[in-house]
A and B are shown apart, each in its own frame.
Chain A
Amino acid sequence: MTQIPEQQFVHKVPVQCTLNGQSTEFLAAPYLSLLEILRETLGLTGTKEGCNDGNCGACTVNVDGRIVDSCLMLGVEAQGKNIETIEGVAPAGGLHPLQQAFLEEAALQCGICTPGFLVSAKALLEAEPNADEHRIRLWLAGNLCRCTGYDKIIRAVEKAREEMK
């Protein structure tokens, strides 16, 4: 890495946000992604790094009700936001209907893409409880899986959709 002249030393920025329902504060170097902050600063390793350039969706989190790739958002941009990660999906002592359906339909193999699929699918079913197969496939186009071939994932989301009604 380049030697940084002294006047250019970058200071960490204090950030305050709501994370999985809890008020959370952290210090972020401005060049760290939200994904890096979640995993390395806050120890929330449920969110996965896949491609780290916005193609695969493994790092999907929910920010103010919208799904985003956390690798393409800076940690400092979390200031004042309401963020939900995979750690916030399950209710205390149980599984979310999507998680249960993924287990029952064997909608995962290696599991790296799974947290991203769950966070994405949850946002869809909460906004559109009647989303049909076509809508589900289109919505999940930003989440890549290299194991299952997608059909099992779509079936699991459709099963959870019925459970959540």
Chain B
Amino acid sequence: MHPYQYIPATNITEAVSALARYGNRARILAGGTDLLVQLRGERYELDAVVDAKAIPELVELTLDGGLTIGAAVPCYQVYENLAIAAAFPGIIDAASLIGGIQIQSRASLGGNLCNSTPSADGICPLIVHSGVVTITGVDGTRTMPVEEFSTGPGRNALGNGEMLISINLPKPAAHFGAAYQRFIPRNEMDIAVVGVASAITLDATGQKVESARIALASVGPTPIFAKQASEFLAGQTATEETFAKAGAIASTEATPISDMRGTIKQRHHLVEVLTRRTLVQAVRRARGNA
């Protein structure tokens, strides 16, 4: 492995200036569960690894109606927090199934986002919870919706010298529910053939859909926000039949490939099934009887 400097940053300025100094020869280290594997596999070489876990903003986890998840907060801290689990069920579904317990001790949702694989379990739930990312670089700080962050397999909106600081999720509306499910051939420790996250807000009667958001994993070059299926659901009655129609629309928004994990045909089918199932689960949670 190419030798690199270890830079334990204690604040954002230090980290950003290290990133600016080394350009694309430096990366941020959070949990390391992707980074160290990729370095060891010599997928790329680095001259510097900037450890971000001593930067207060990157390890912040604050629930104040909305939720702020620092980019380096490990998954277990998110799913072991019962108040977060109650308010942000879609996030918990993902945080508790990424890898095994050992991985969840270190891996972060921010790292999952920055690694930017189309199959990431963590990204779609952040999209349907209307997550917004905060990015800082030498030229200042900017924000963007999570669905705009990934730009291709392993690629994202971070420019040279920029780093992800946090993911901010707004306070869910009343009668809100969300869920994430994936299809894998075994029960744990696998990469999604297809993953679907759905979020739904019902009206006060609990029968009509006010708004919905659906996002698809592993069926395109990036996680996909299924805009048409999401918009179709607004104003509809919350029945399984409606959700099956939403699944059929979502399937048309998927652009999967055939690979070792599944075929194009299977993946389109799985989008339909998982969209319907996650909507049913999200509605159960929205009605408070999950």
**A residues neighboring B (CB under 8 Å):** 1-2, 4, 8-10, 13, 29-31, 33, 52-55, 57, 60, 63, 66-69, 71-74, 76-77, 79, 120, 138-139, 141-143
Contact = CB atoms under 8 A, between A and B. Distances in A.
Interface residues of B, number: 32
Nearest to B1: A31
Given A66-B76, A67-B102, A141-B100, A10 B5 contact: yes
A27 B99 CA distance: 31
Contacts of B2: 1-2, 4, 31
A55 B186 CA distance: 14
Contacts of B51: 76-77
Given A8-B47, A53-B37, A141-B189, A68 B106 contact: yes
Contacts of A2: 2, 45
A142 B4 contact: no
Interface residues of A: mostly helix, strand, loop or mixed? mixed
A60 B106 CA distance: 13
A73 B47 CA distance: 18
Given A73-B106, A74-B6, A74-B36, A120 B99 contact: no
B3 interface: yes
Interface of B: 1-6, 8, 29, 31-33, 36-37, 39-41, 45, 47, 49, 51, 53, 76, 99-103, 105-106, 187-189
The listed residue with most A CB atoms (<10 A of its CB), out of B47, B99, B102, B189, is B102
Nearest to B187: A141
Contacts of B5: 8, 10, 30
The listed residue with most B CB atoms (<10 A of its CB), out of A33, A54, A141, is A54
Contacts of A10: 3-5
B252 to A, nearest CB: 35
Contacts of A120: 101-102
Q: Which 7 A-B pairs have the closest CB atoms?
A: A142-B100, A30-B6, A141-B188, A66-B105, A10-B3, A142-B102, A69-B102
Given A2-B2, A72-B106, A76-B6, A53 B40 contact: yes
Nearest to A60: B102
Contacts of B100: 57, 141-143
Contacts of B40: 52-53
A71 B103 CA distance: 11
A140 to B, nearest CB: 8
A57 B102 contact: yes
Nearest to A61: B102
The listed residue with most A CB atoms (<10 A of its CB), out of B3, B6, B39, B100, is B100
Contacts of A31: 1-4, 39
A94 B3 CA distance: 42
Contact of B36 (A13, A33, A60, A66): A33
Contacts of A71: 36
B146 to A, nearest CB: 25
Nearest to A5: B47
Contact of A142 (B47, B49, B189): B189
A59 B15 CA distance: 30
A3 B233 CA distance: 59
A146 B27 CA distance: 35
A33 B35 CA distance: 12
A151 to B, nearest CB: 16
A68 B103 CA distance: 7
B105 A68 contact: yes
Given A74-B36, A142-B101, A30 B189 contact: no
B101 A54 contact: no
16 contacts: A10-B3, A29-B3, A52-B40, A54-B36, A54-B103, A55-B189, A60-B102, A66-B76, A68-B106, A72-B33, A72-B103, A73-B32, A73-B106, A76-B51, A79-B8, A142-B99
Given A31-B1, A68-B106, A138 B188 contact: yes
A139 B101 contact: yes
B183 to A, nearest CB: 17
Contacts of A138: 188
B39 to A, nearest CB: 7
Contacts of A74: 6, 29, 32, 36, 49
